[in-house]
Amino acid sequence: MTTATVSSIYTPAFLSQTYTPGVNWDLDIPEHPIQQFVDDAAKRFGRAEGFNFKGKTYSWRKLARMSDRIAEGLQERGLQKGERVALMLPNTFEYAALYYGVLKAGGIVVNVNPMYPEDQIEHFVKDSGAKFIATLDIKPFFGKARAAMKALGHQVEDLIVCPMDQALPLGLKVAFNTLKRAEVDPRAYNMGYRMFADFRSFRGRYKKVAIDPKNDVAVLQYTGGTTGLPKAAMLSHYNVASIAHQARAWMPDAKEGIGASLAVIPFFHVFSMSAILNLSVRMGWTIHAMPKPDLAEAGKLIQKHRITFLGGVPTLFQGLVRSFKGRIDSLERSISGGAPLPADVKGEFETKSGARVWEGFGMTEMPVATCQPSHVSGAAGNVGIPFPRNEVRIVSPEDGVTDMPVGEAGEIILRGPARMLGYWNNEAETAKTIRDGWLYTGDLGTADANGVITIVGRSKDLIIVNGYNVYPKKAEGILDETGKFAEVMVFGVKDKRSGEAPIVLVRPKDGVEVNAQEIHRLLRSKLSRSDWPREVIVTSDELPKTEGIAKLAKRLAQDKYNAGHYEGMAVRFKAGDAPVPTV
């Protein structure tokens, strides 16, 4: 009897039966430029509220009109098709208007995280060849943008300055100029840079640029990377727009023109750009934008504005159930990504909000690949099934070709409409990552007989102990299930005897007393010997995270460990007596 492989069960008929009723795998995805979303919203929803930033509101028509003016202004300044504009902005109206304006002008958006250090921002700007940089006038933002401009000589022709006070409603504008004016960098106003308000003088009569949606790059999205300099994924108009169409099909009961989304994750992150900004514009949902992640403020906005759609990372959902005491029962649907959502957090959030939380899987190179079906509450820890038109295989990590049997771990590879074109100016890395049309993710996973995928780790996170493969997700899952930890991380370090060794790093929940010995006993009782941690570190500090979306960062934890940051906190273990779990 032939053993079924994962790819053999993922037929269109099988997936369509697994989907929410009304959702089919063979979705017809239209080919169009991304900016068509905002023009369609202006036609369909007109004067309805489209964007809200701290109480300052804009209609869909105003958003579309402003993007027209920006497109004309950029073309007047010399922007040609395919030239790049770096957006180094938080979630503001200015970001949204510039995003669609750059695309209308035929340009390519380069998303830049302003929280990164100067040298990394300089790399993004230099590598992309950005002609303009748009940023705020406040010191941390403007200073980094100006430094990149100066370092690169004549490459960057101008800065587009977006004044913080102009983004605010009148009351907050007065307060900002009274109390926080010192945060503004005066150099933004004495060097002759273009102001965002200058675009208002244009009439919006830009020259339409012919776009090939499947082949023309729309966005350069830099990956965090675990080694070396970050690479830019080239995302076409079709890549990015298809995500909004797939997500819309995933929610057959969702109403268009009725609803509101909360943008907590920065738009410069690919998930927020694709599944919050573009999806909300596609659906006609009012976007309530937050300039920076703030759990308390997020809860207040959900309650005040009756938010119906929320996308976030596990720390957001945890904060809303553990810290926010108000009501969040207006929510109709939520999606969590970036890291596994602990089962207890998922359950508490769904009980408090009355809304299902779906977990999904994606990466910069293909932002949304799989998701839990919208009509059921998926079990915590799995990432669902392939999105419509997406194909998934799980293959041998050794040869990258042999399809793995159902239930066995292997590397997840992907193909679908959102798969990137390749890496910008990096054919060698493109060839390694995309083979025969398949995107090799570096993520390890399994799929059960129902096609449900569970991530078991990253190939780069894999720890090899005396020749045995150790998947950190095993220990992390065991500790998460106890419900006693706010954050859990297992990472590998070099070891003279075994090659590598697992290190457990945890932060207990407030008021919970747990020691390293208890944790070690529990893991020894449930894991094979090679999986036992060499050291356990219990800390009250937040675990290392990436900038912007606060995603747990194992590389940063490894760096801190190797630098001796955890000395005096780590408890080292050797083989000992039979364990008695007490956690």
CATH, residue 466: 3.30.300.30
On whether residue 567 sits in a domain, the answer given is: yes
β-bridge partners, 413: 393, 440
On whether residue 565 sits in a domain, the answer given is: yes
On whether residue 480 sits in a domain, the answer given is: yes
More confident residue, 499 or 411: 411
On whether residue 87 sits in a domain, the answer given is: no
Per DSSP, helices labelled H in 371-459 are: 427-433
For residues 169 and 143, the answer to whether their CB atoms sit within 8 Å is: no
More confident residue, 94 or 9: 94
More confident residue, 431 or 550: 431
Amino acid at 525: S
**Dihedral sign (CA 199, 39, 79, 238):** positive
On whether residue 13 sits in a domain, the answer given is: no
On whether residue 97 sits in a domain, the answer given is: no
- Residue 109 and residue 265: Cα distance in Å, rounded? 18
Residues with Cβ within 8 Å of residue 431, at least 6 apart in sequence: none
Domain boundaries, position 565? 461-572
pLDDT digits (tens, 9 = 90+) for 539-559: 999 999 877 667 788 889 998
- Residue 125 and residue 468: Cα distance in Å, rounded? 42
Instruction: Tell if the pTM clears 0.75, that is, is over it.
Output: yes
Six token digits for residue 491: 């990472």
For 525, list phi and psi in degrees, rounded to 5.
-75, -15
Give how far Cα 147 sits from Cα of 139, 153, 169, 179, Å: 11, 10, 30, 27
Local confidence band at 227 (pLDDT 50, 70, 90 cut-offs): very low
**Dihedral sign (CA 33, 39, 43, 47):** positive
For residues 317 and 291, the answer to whether their CB atoms sit within 8 Å is: no
Domain total of the chain = 1
For residues 245 and 36, the answer to whether their CB atoms sit within 8 Å is: no
- Mean pLDDT for the chain? 91
For residues 215 and 235, the answer to whether their CB atoms sit within 8 Å is: no
Report pLDDT for 531. Answer: 85
On whether residue 53 sits in a domain, the answer given is: no
Residues with Cβ within 8 Å of residue 423, at least 6 apart in sequence: 231, 232, 233, 234, 429, 430, 433
On whether residue 320 sits in a domain, the answer given is: no
The strand order across the sheet containing 570-572 reads 485-495, 499-508, 535-538, 570-572
For residues 108 and 83, the answer to whether their CB atoms sit within 8 Å is: yes
pLDDT digits (tens, 9 = 90+) for 435-482: 999 999 998 999 999 999 998 877 777 787 866 668 788 899 899 999
